[in-house]
Amino acid sequence: MAEVLHSAPKISSNDGVRDTLASALGDMLVEGFEAHGEIVLHVKRDRVEDALRLLRDDHAYQQLMEMAGVDFPQRAERFEVVYMLLSLTKNHRIIVKCRASEDTPVPTVTTLWPNAGWLEREVFDLYGVIFDGNTDLRRILTDYGFEGHPFRKDFPLTGYIELRYSEDQKRVVYEPVELPQDFRQFDFMSPWEGADYILPGDEKAAEAPPMPTVDKPKVTEKEGDSGSDKTTADKAAEKKAPAKGVPAKKAAAKTSSAKKTPAKKPAAKKASSKKPAGKGKE
């Protein structure tokens, strides 16, 4: 069988890539490692534009495929900005990260990739990360007048403002969130999964009554007990008896003759052959 050739390059191996890129980045690199088959490069925040420019121009990572944010509230610099780069010529991907806080802006990379404009707006909208140099840094996913950044770990699950359509005012209205009851929390554990405690509220549930005991359970041993034997089927197939006072043969004959003989139509009247009486001779 002939070998099938494909124009696309094979997926490049990670062998030696991390060391090569780490050497090229120099003091811009904080650390580099491999996780889940991906090379991750953590660079300094104030040098992120220079680092990405070097990876694009000198190492053929031409495309910025995606940007994302991650929130680690326990860290001093709680946010991670993640850049995912793709090399079309090498068919290889790498991940570049930098850290930031609420007060430390990240240099924009719209000077390198125009599509970074919307991607940076998403990270700003959902996490509140400021991108220095982005001339159109405004919300892109949440509604006008939205308060806070919903992907932060400390953002309340219910939010602050409720948006709904008012039938009385015939328009969309903004109102403070009002819940009819306290927002419930579940630990997703259950006594049926082997937990050695009872969940709150389960102690109020009454125990199910025991099953009644019988000396001799009733069982169906014959077909006749369930009404499905041959006798029952024969009885169902029997013809109904004729009405009282009418012999069976006579009733059957009447029924068959009524079906076979159609009703007679009334005969048409014949024209009279007698001539009308004429007048006498004068």
Q: Which residue has the tokens 């819940």?
A: 179
pLDDT of 138-195, one tens digit each? Answer: 999 988 778 889 999 988 877 778 878 889 999 988 888 776 655 555 555 555 555 5
**Whole-model pTM over 0.85:** no
Transcribe 136-182 into DSSP letters. T---SSSPTT--S-TTSTTS-TT-SEEEEEETTTTEEEEEE---SSP
Please report the pLDDT score of residue 1 as a whole number.
Answer: 47
pLDDT of 48-100, one tens digit each? Answer: 999 999 999 999 999 999 999 999 999 999 999 999 999 999 999 999 999 99
Please report the pLDDT score of residue 159 as a whole number.
Answer: 78
Domain boundaries, the chain: 17-132, 142-179
H or E element at residue 271: none
Class of domain 17-132: alpha beta
